[in-house]
Structures are given as structure tokens and as C-alpha cells.
């Protein structure tokens, strides 16, 4: 990269249902926290934060141009504010490009969503093409169930292996003060939870969640000025596949492989499993952590089940995945990818407390969106030795 | 503060008039005539189901090379949906369980057609199972995906 982009600081709300808060309150809380943490302010003279890039979605907020919810509290009043409406990882991707392009030196990235204010299944149903698939009564969960079944059938992945993802992630969340649903679970708890869309059960899916996450990134100069522990963005990749899941081999996440190829290529990573210290990925459903591990090149296709069984992906293992607790511990859509970035930054700064991966220097951030993971964004980060 | 939560319910009931356009329109009109229609890319010759205006791989207009597909195929994945969901079409919760499936039609494109199965017992559904489309009687068809009631088990 011609310029270096550093993550200066990150902050989040506690995640969970927030009936007492307006959408603006939720976003404002995360912004206030990151400003306090970093000491940065919104300025017009180049001495502080130059611009705001947000992530939220009109349909979830029930209000078109949903970034209206961050104008006042997010530094958007009479200042540049732009919204990316896919996932928070894309907002970070875009913000990093704005700094690489030289237009801004310091950007606040903020994502918010209150899933609890609307029937999320109808939002997801309306995320499907209207004339062809929507009227079949599909939503993201039932489509993910088709993906899960095909993946499990093709590679002999067991439901117990998927349940181990839930157990690991909800257990990791015990050490995350922002997590919504920390819990010690057993395979029987997961396999005995109510079926949503076979083989996906209640505990295989991420819970309904509200919250916000905010990050401040800057040029090398800004990052070094405002933090002792900058986390450098070294690789960026994003890729979209066809929308209609019938067009895709759902067991082969091509757009994830492409996003990873771009990010690893830029960062000079040739052996991801050996060179990455931890991964924060977007598992909306338990089986997706296994499938996305394969797409990220952490194991061979079909080996995701063995990877979780080996213990390699636990905190203290060879390649910890979602030490934060992941999406299964309750992170809202849109916020999901930015939360992955925040958690990776917290890890590399050595501020992760009981969920800290010892000596972590490199991390991979993964955001996903769309039905059955249509699009993926991969960002690799590193701290100074 | 010890105030009651103030939460206000405001419905957002929008009706959209979607234009099917020439490509998806050909597919939907085909259903009314008991046909499942794909179109073929003039460059890579891949079939598109549903038919699309452009080939994503070749970045070219698909044209009107229509291909009629078999009504029979094989299930490559399925799911029994148990958690009910609101259905605007009936103004209430969708009856459960229903079984959705990804079906690869014989001689068709290497893509899956998503629809419902008649068989609602998950024990009796298998990957690789042979199925056939069951259409509504001609007078009940409306050029909608629902002109196919479901796929029934054959053989």
C-alpha cells in the first residue's frame, strides 16, 4: 500500500434487546465511547476526525436513508457522512479506501441496527427476489438450511460438529462483557433446541440482537499520534456472487475465496493457517463457521468439521476462531462485520481480557451478507511486533 | 426514571407493482402454459434459470434463445420448515411444516430450482430423490411461481 491505514480505537454497546433506546441512542452510545477512548473529536481543520462512514439498512430501520440516525450523534451534521448498506466490514473497507485515496486522513466508522423492532424474517424474506423466490416462503434461515443440508451431505459433516461451534462461541462469550448471550452449553442443549428449518435449530442460529459498534481509522501519521498500539490494515478484499442461491454451488463459497485471495495477496499472506493468529468471522448459522473456515483457506474443502473437532479453533488453539463469541452470541446484522473488526483490533491491542489470544499479532476480519453468503469481505490486520 | 417503556407500533404496508419484464416474464408466462423455460447465453452457452437479461460471467445480453426444460429432476438439498412465518398472501401465518427443496432438472442447467415438495415427512425425503412438478389446473394458473403447486415424488 502506498499509504498505511491504522485502526486507532474501537468501541461497542453491550448487545441485546434494547426496547428502552431509540435507534439514535444506540448509535450515539458507541460513538461517544470511541471518542472518549481515543480522545479524538470531529474537526474541520484536519486535526481530528474528517468524515463519518456508517453502515445500517433502511428496511431494518424502517426509515429510508437510515444513516439519518447517525447525523447528529455520529458527526454528520454539516459534514461528510456516507452510508454503506451491506455489512459493517464493507463500511470499513470503503473507509480504508477513502484514506488510501488520500481524500481523508481520519474517519469514524459506525454501524447500528435494532433487529428487535421488526419481524426479521419478513425483512429477510423481502431480501429475496420478489417474483421467483419470495412467494415460496423462504427466508435466510430456510435458505441457509438448504445450504447446511447440502454441505453436510456432501462432506459428511455431522450436526454434532456444527453444535461444537455454538458451544465454543457461546462459551468464549463468557469472557466478553459486550456479548448478549454468554452461556455454557452442551451438544445435547444444541441438538435438543427447537427446530427452525431442519437441520437448523434455534441454537444453531444467531439470536435477535440490537446494538452498535464504532471504529476510528486514520493515516499512519494519525494512527501513531492518537494511539500507542495502532492496528494496521494490510489486506482488503470483497466479492459478490449471484443473488439467486440456485445459481451457486452452496458448498463452495467462491465469492469468499475470491475476497480472501484479494486480501491475502495484498497482505503477502501465502499460508493463512500458519500466518494468521486469530480469525473473527461472520457465522450467522453454526455450520457457516465450518464452511467459511474452508473458504478462508484455514483448512481443505470439507475439513471444517474436523477443524472444530481438533480444538484448533478454540482460544489457545492453533488458529482461534471467534474468540469474541462470534455472531452466535448475539450481534445485529449490519453491525456484524464491524464488530468482527473491533474484536480483532481489541485482540491485537492486547485488551481482550479473558478472551485474549496470547501474543496475537495478525488477524483476519470477515464480513458476509446476502442469502447463503452471497457476498464476502475479508480484511487482514497486523500490529507492530 | 421509573417510567413505562414507550414503544409505538407503526405498520408499513406497501404494495409494489413489479414488472416481470421480457425475461422473467417469459418464464412466468411459460408456467401458465405448463412449461419451465430457461434461456441460453449466446457466448458461453450456459442456461439461465430463471431466465435473465444478462449473463453475469460474459457481461452480455442473453437474447431470446429460450429452452424448455424437463419437469422432472433430482433433489440436491431439502429442508422441513417448522418455524411459521407471516404470509402477506394469506394475511396470516404460513401453515407448517412445509418442505422446501433445491432441485436440478433433467437435462437442464447446472443450477438448482427452488420449490416445495409434496412430501412433508422429512424421514421420507432423501438427497438424490426423483421428483416431478405438479401444476395447477389451467384455469387456476396466474403466471406465478405458484402455478406449480409442488414437486411430487416419482419412481
CB contact under 8 A, B18 and A131: yes
Dihedral angle computed from the Cα positions of residues A171, A148, A304 and A191, in that order, rounded to the nearest 10 degrees: 40
Other Cβ atoms less than 10 A from the Cβ of A64: the count is 8
Tell me what pLDDT residue B86 has: 85
- Comparing CA positions, the residue from B119, B115, B100 lying closest to residue B50 is B115
Q: Where are the domains of chain B?
A: 21-153
Please confirm whether the linkage preceding B26 is cis (ω < 30° from 0). no
Taking the CA of residue B68 and the nearest CA in chain A, the distance in Å comes to: 17
Determine the residue of chain A that is closest to B19 in CA distance. A131
Q: Which helix (H) or strand (E) holds A213?
A: strand A210-219
Domain coordinates in residue numbering, chain A: 5-118+208-226
What is the DSSP code string of A84-118? E-S-HHHHHHHHHHHHHTTS-SEEEEEEEEEGGGS
User: Does domain A5-118+208-226 match CATH 3.30.9.10?
Assistant: no
Which of B7, B14, B81, B86 is the best substitution to test chain A (most A C-beta atoms within 10 A)? B81
Query: Which residues neighbour A290 within 8 Å (Cβ) at sequence distance 6 or greater?
Result: A151, A157, A161, A162, A165, A304, A305, A307, A308
Task: Please state, as a whole number, how many other Cβ atoms lie within 10 Å of the Cβ of residue A102.
Answer: 10
> Over A275-290, what HEC string results?
HCCEEECCCCEHHHHH
Give the pTM: 0.97
Grid coordinates representing A118 are 421488526
| pLDDT score recorded for residue B90 | 79
Instruction: Give me A113's grid cell.
Output: 441496527
Contact, A207 vs A181, CB < 8 A? yes
Grid cell 492518537 in the structure block, residue: A226
Handedness of CA A167, A173, A175, A180 (dihedral sign): negative
Residues in chain A closer than 8 A to B27 (CB atoms): 132
- What does the DSSP 8-state code read for residue A79? S
Q: Residue A138 is nearest to which of B86, B113, B114, comparing CB atoms? A: B114
- Identify any residues that bridge with B99 across adjacent strands, giving them in sequence order: B80, B117
Least Cα distance to B51 among A244, A77, A161 occurs for: A244
Q: How many CB pairs under 8 A join A and B?
A: 106
Contacts of A245 in chain B (CB under 8 A): 102, 112, 114
* C-alpha–C-alpha distance, residues B153 and B155, integer Å: 7
Q: Which residue has 450436526 as its cell numbers?
A: A159
Q: What is the pLDDT of residue B114?
A: 95
What is the tens place of the pLDDT at every residue in A350-381? Answer: 999 999 999 999 999 999 999 999 999 999 99
Instruction: Work out the widest C-alpha separation in chain B, in whole angstroms.
Output: 68
* From B20, B112, B116, residue closest to A136, measured CB to CB: B116
Q: What is the pLDDT along chain B (155 residues), one digit of tens a residue?
A: 568 899 999 998 888 999 999 999 999 999 999 999 999 999 999 998 999 999 988 999 998 899 999 999 999 999 999 998 888 777 889 899 999 999 999 987 778 999 999 999 999 999 999 999 999 999 999 999 999 999 999 97
Considering only CB atoms, B24 lies closest to which of A131, A135, A148, namely A131
Rg (CA), chain B: 19
The pLDDT value given to residue A2 = 65
Q: Rounded distance, CA B103 to CA B118, Å?
A: 13
Angstroms from B137 CA to nearest CA on chain A: 19
Q: What is the CA radius of gyration of chain A?
A: 19
Residue B107 backbone class (left: φ over 0; alpha: ψ -120 to 50; beta: rest):
left
Tell me how far the alpha carbon of residue A332 is from its chain's centroid: 9
Nearest CA in chain A to B81: A197
The closest of A215, A195, A213 to A205, measured between CA atoms, is: A195
- For chain A, 385 residues long, give each residue's pLDDT as a single digit of tens: 568 999 999 999 999 999 999 999 999 999 999 999 999 999 999 999 999 999 999 999 999 999 999 988 999 999 999 999 989 999 999 999 999 999 999 999 999 999 999 999 999 998 999 998 888 888 999 999 999 999 999 999 999 999 999 999 999 999 999 999 999 999 999 999 999 999 999 999 999 999 999 999 999 999 999 999 999 999 999 999 999 999 999 999 999 999 999 999 999 999 999 999 999 999 999 999 999 999 999 999 999 999 999 999 999 999 999 999 999 999 999 999 999 999 999 999 999 999 999 999 999 999 999 999 999 999 999 998 8
Q: Residue ranges of the alpha helices (H) in chain A?
A: 23-38, 58-61, 68-71, 88-100, 120-125, 140-155, 159-172, 187-191, 220-226, 254-267, 272-275, 286-295, 304-309, 336-348
A positions 92-151 inside 8 Å of B (CB): 119, 121-122, 125, 130-133, 135-139, 141-142, 145-150
Strand partners, B79: B100
What three-state secondary structure class fits B118?
coil
For residues A269 and A378, is the Cβ–Cβ distance under 8 A?
Answer: no
E-strand ranges in B3-153 read 36-40, 47-48, 54-55, 60-61, 66-69, 72-81, 86-87, 92-93, 98-105, 113-117, 130-135, 148-153
Amino acid at each position: 500500500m502506498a499509504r498505511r491505514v491504522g485502526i486507532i480505537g474501537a468501541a461497542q454497546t453491550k448487545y441485546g434487546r434494547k426496547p428502552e433506546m431509540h435507534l439514535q441512542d444506540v448509535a450515539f452510545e458507541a460513538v461517544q465511547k470511541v471518542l472518549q477512548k481515543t480522545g479524538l473529536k470531529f474537526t474541520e481543520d484536519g486535526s481530528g476526525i474528517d468524515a463519518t462512514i456508517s453502515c445500517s439498512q433502511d428496511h431494518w430501520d424502517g426509515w429510508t436513508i437510515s444513516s439519518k440516525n447517525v447525523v447528529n450523534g455520529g458527526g454528520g451534521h454539516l459534514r461528510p457522512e456516507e452510508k454503506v448498506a451491506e455489512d459493517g466490514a464493507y463500511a470499513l473497507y470503503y473507509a480504508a479506501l477513502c484514506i488510501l485515496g488520500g481524500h481523508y486522513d481520519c474517519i469514524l466508522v459506525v454501524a447500528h441496527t435494532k433487529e428487535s423492532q421488526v419481524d426479521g424474517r419478513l425483512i429477510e424474506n423481502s431480501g429475496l427476489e420478489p417474483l421467483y423466490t419470495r412467494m415460496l416462503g423462504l427466508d435466510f434461515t430456510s435458505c441457509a438450511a438448504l445450504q447446511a443440508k447440502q454441505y453436510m451431505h456432501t462432506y459428511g459433516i455431522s450436526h454434532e460438529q456444527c453444535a461444537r461451534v455454538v458451544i465454543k462461541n457461546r462459551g468464549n462469550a463468557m469472557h466478553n462483557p459486550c456479548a448478549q448471550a454468554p452461556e455454557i452449553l452442551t451438544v445435547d442443549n444444541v441438538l435438543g433446541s427447537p427446530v427452525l428449518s431442519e437441520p437448523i435449530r434455534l441454537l444453531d442460529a444467531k439470536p435477535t440482537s440490537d446494538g452498535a459498534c464504532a471504529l476510528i481509522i486514520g493515516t499512519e501519521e494519525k494512527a501513531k499520534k492518537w494511539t500507542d498500539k495502532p492496528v494496521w490494515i494490510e489486506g482488503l478484499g470483497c466479492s459478490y456472487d449471484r443473488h439467486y442461491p440456485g445459481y451457486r454451488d452452496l458448498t463452495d463459497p467462491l465469492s469468499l475465496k475470491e475476497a480472501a485471495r484479494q486480501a491475502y495477496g495484498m497482505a503477502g499472506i501465502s499460508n493463512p493457517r500458519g500466518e494468521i493468529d486469530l480469525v473473527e468471522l461472520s457465522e450467522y448459522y453454526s455450520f457457516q463457521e465450518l464452511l467459511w473456515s474452508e473458504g478462508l483457506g484455514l483448512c481443505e474443502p470439507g475439513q471444517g468439521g474436523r477443524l472444530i473437532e481438533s480444538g484448533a479453533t478454540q482460544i489457545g488453539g492453533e488458529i482461534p476462531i471467534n474468540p469474541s463469541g462470534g455472531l452466535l452470541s448475539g450481534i445485529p446484522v449490519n453491525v456484524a462485520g464491524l464488530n468482527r473488526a473491533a474484536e480483532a483490533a481489541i485482540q491485537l491491542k492486547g485488551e481482550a481480557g479473558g478472551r485474549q489470544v496470547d501474543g496475537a499479532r495478525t488477524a483476519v476480519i470477515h464480513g458476509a451478507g446476502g442469502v447463503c453468503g452471497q457476498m464476502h469481505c475479508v480484511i487482514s490486520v497486523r500490529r507492530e511486533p | 426514571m421509573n417510567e413505562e417503556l414507550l414503544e409505538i407500533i407503526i405498520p408499513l404496508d406497501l404494495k409494489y407493482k413489479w414488472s416481470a419484464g421480457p425475461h422473467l416474464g417469459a418464464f412466468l408466462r411459460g408456467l401458465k402454459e405448463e412449461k419451465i423455460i430457461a434461456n441460453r447465453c449466446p457466448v458461453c452457452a450456459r442456461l439461465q434459470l430463471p431466465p435473465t437479461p444478462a449473463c453475469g460471467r460474459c457481461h452480455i445480453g442473453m437474447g431470446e434463445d429460450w429452452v424448455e426444460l424437463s419437469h422432472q429432476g433430482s433433489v440436491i438439498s431439502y429442508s422441513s420448515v417448522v418455524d411459521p412465518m407471516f404470509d402477506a398472501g394469506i394475511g396470516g401465518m404460513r401453515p407448517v411444516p412445509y418442505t422446501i427443496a433445491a432441485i436440478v432438472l433433467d437435462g437442464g442447467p447446472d443450477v438448482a430450482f427452488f420449490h416445495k415438495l409434496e412430501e412433508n415427512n422429512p424421514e421420507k425425503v432423501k438427497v438424490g430423490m426423483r421428483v416431478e412438478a405438479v401444476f395447477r389446473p389451467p384455469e387456476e394458473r396466474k403466471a406465478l411461481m405458484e402455478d406449480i403447486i409442488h414437486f411430487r415424488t416419482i419412481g
